[in-house]
A and B are shown apart, each in its own frame.
Chain A
Amino acid sequence: MQNMTTTSTTSSTASSVISAGAATTSRSYLGLAGILVLLALAIALAFMVKGYVLFQATMLLSYAIALVGLNLLTGYNGQISLGHGAFFAIGAYTVGVLMDKASTPYWLAVPVGGIVCLAAGYAFGRPALKLQGLYLALATFALGVVTPQLLKYKHLEHWTGGVGGIVLTKPEAPFGLPLTADQWFYLFTLAVAAVLMWLARNLIDSGTGRAIRAIRDHEMAAESMGVDNRHYKSMTFGISAAFTGIGGGLSALAVQFVSPDSFTMFLSISLLVGVVVGGVGTLWGAAFGAAFIMFVPNMAEKVSKDAAWGVYGVVLILFIFVMPGGVMGLLAKVKSSLARRKDLPV
């Protein structure tokens, strides 16, 4: 170990900044290439599969967006939410009501749903600052439980359609593009997902993202470094809710229907499951988490109709044992062991 003496600064400082910069650039080019390939494959999917499969792909993207939102809050900022299904529902209903009652175009309704959730998330997150750990878990749990009931509330029925919900129509492709409605909406969702992923990446890699993570690791030290914890925590709550709400809005359009029973407490728990399975504190984990919460319950039902939830539970426990860091944690481990093998002398 070096002893505590100072080393000469100026010249070596400059060069190390530059070399750190160069390394990041070449790595980020590689990452960019990977993302472009992935995006091309995802676009190609629109022309390779049809109908139900394309619908599933659209749903997967919607859930993935919602999971990115929850991961920003829980994974990166350390605030637990057992009630994010509520924001998924608020996003879905905003889209539903706007399109049904105000004939708002879908491409406007979806971002408005995000903004409504941003406000709702901030409004919930601000007073929730006083709550820590288990108490925050309970408060968000309450939110998740109350929301579906509220959507059935008699005096809101005029807007929400009560128990019956709201039926929506899937948008047609614009500008006379030769695409089916399914294809178009899948591609639209993909574009939204790509933009949101970019925004989330920007946020996490920035100074703001560092402050968000610093709060998770040591709240008091972060504040002593000048981080305004109250502002950062409630803004993170708002942004997280906005992502999840946009996911909800897109899913409503894909399903062409919103009703209170689509947003039960189980949805909120599923979102948390998705975050953990994908990898807490990762962005790409959302894709795997979304696949899990979409396909594992169906698969379990195929394995055994009578004990479907038993199978689901066992699969979930296996996942947690085999991949304690989620899918992304496992991938990181594989990657680092490959890198180490490459470094070994031959």
Chain B
Amino acid sequence: MNQNKTGDKPLLQVDNVSVRFGGIVALDGVSFDVRRGEVRGLIGPNGAGKSTLFNCLSRLYSCDEGSIHFDGQVLSDQPRHRIAAMGVGRTFQNLALFRTMTVRDNVLVGTHAHHRAGFLRDILRLPAAVRSERAALERAEESIELLGLGPFANTIVADLPFGTQKRVELARALACEPSLLLLDEPACGLNHEELNGLGDLILDIRQRLNLTVLLVEHHMGLVMGVCDRIVALNFGKKIADGTPTEVRQHPEVIRAYLGEEQKEAA
């Protein structure tokens, strides 16, 4: 039983998680795992509970039942602001940027979990504060360059087009040096050109930064193209789990998505 931490234990383990909002059961006993280094897809029709699960992983919501383990620690009883330092970074389905701040400042906030000096050092500008700021700036600049945001580094975020803002969010998430990156519908709202590059971008950053990715996405082409394994949810329940091919052919998945298409057609 001498299994070491980086062995074949999954990086993220979601066990029997349930979340209720009043009468609505947003998640109903969901279990799955994410292995180190994989791109894991999370799909399901609107309202299936995907964002709710993400919010449990960031501790914005608490699980009513079940537990979440990350990297050998119990994630589901950590305070919210500890999650980033543990190594979980995320983007939001509907942008959650610091709108009055520049791109660089947004990304710099992403470094907060690892590079911060505290009130006293910062207010007196002690050497430790200067050092920490320099390290933060270097880290942020790497993220900015990686996502090609250099030309906008000093632009106020609110003045940028939607697609670029999404990239700022990704840069901010990467600046906190996550080992697990949660992407909530990164393709949503992107134009055609941006969409084409997205799949390669995800695979590229995974490779460069040694990331594990959990990806929520509606765009099936993208999901099937980049994911190693996929979990499908419907009405808060897990309906399928496996390789893209297995999941795509799963009768429950087909039914869930057909139902959705009929709803849309109506």
Contacts and interface: CB of A to CB of B under 8 A. Distances in A.
B147 A6 contact: yes
Contacts of A211: 109, 112, 116
A239 interface: yes
Interface of B: 58, 60, 79-85, 90, 92, 96-101, 104-105, 108-119, 122-125, 129, 132-133, 136-138, 141-142, 145-148, 150-151, 153, 161, 163-164, 167, 172, 176, 190-191, 193-194, 196-198, 200-201, 204-205, 208
Given A217-B97, A226-B82, 13 more contacts: A1-B161, A3-B193, A6-B146, A16-B141, A20-B141, A203-B119, A209-B122, A210-B101, A211-B109, A214-B101, A218-B98, A223-B81, A227-B112
Contact of A5 (B90, B133, B197, B208): B197
30 contacts: A3-B197, A4-B190, A4-B194, A6-B146, A6-B205, A6-B208, A9-B145, A17-B137, A17-B138, A17-B141, A202-B122, A202-B123, A203-B119, A203-B123, A206-B125, A207-B136, A208-B119, A209-B122, A210-B108, A214-B98, A221-B96, A221-B98, A222-B109, A223-B81, A225-B84, A226-B82, A226-B85, A235-B119, A239-B123, A281-B100
Contacts of A221: 92, 96-98
Contact of A210 (B96, B109, B146, B161): B109
A223 B83 CA distance: 9
A90 B200 CA distance: 60
B201 A5 contact: yes
A222 B84 contact: no
Contacts, number: 157
B3 to A, nearest CB: 29
Given A206-B129, A207-B122, A228-B81, A213 B100 contact: yes
Contacts of A26: none
Nearest to A207: B116
A20 B145 CA distance: 13
Contacts of B147: 4, 6
Nearest to A224: B58
Interface residues of A, number: 40
Q: Which 4 A-B pairs have the closest CB atoms?
A: A226-B113, A226-B84, A206-B122, A4-B197
A107 to B, nearest CB: 20
B80 A1 contact: no
A312 to B, nearest CB: 30
A259 to B, nearest CB: 33
Interface in A6-44: 6-7, 9, 12-13, 16-17, 20
B32 to A, nearest CB: 22
A12 B145 contact: yes
B124 A20 contact: no
B96 A220 contact: yes
A96 to B, nearest CB: 27
Contacts of A210: 101, 105, 108-109, 112
B60 A1 contact: no
A2 interface: yes
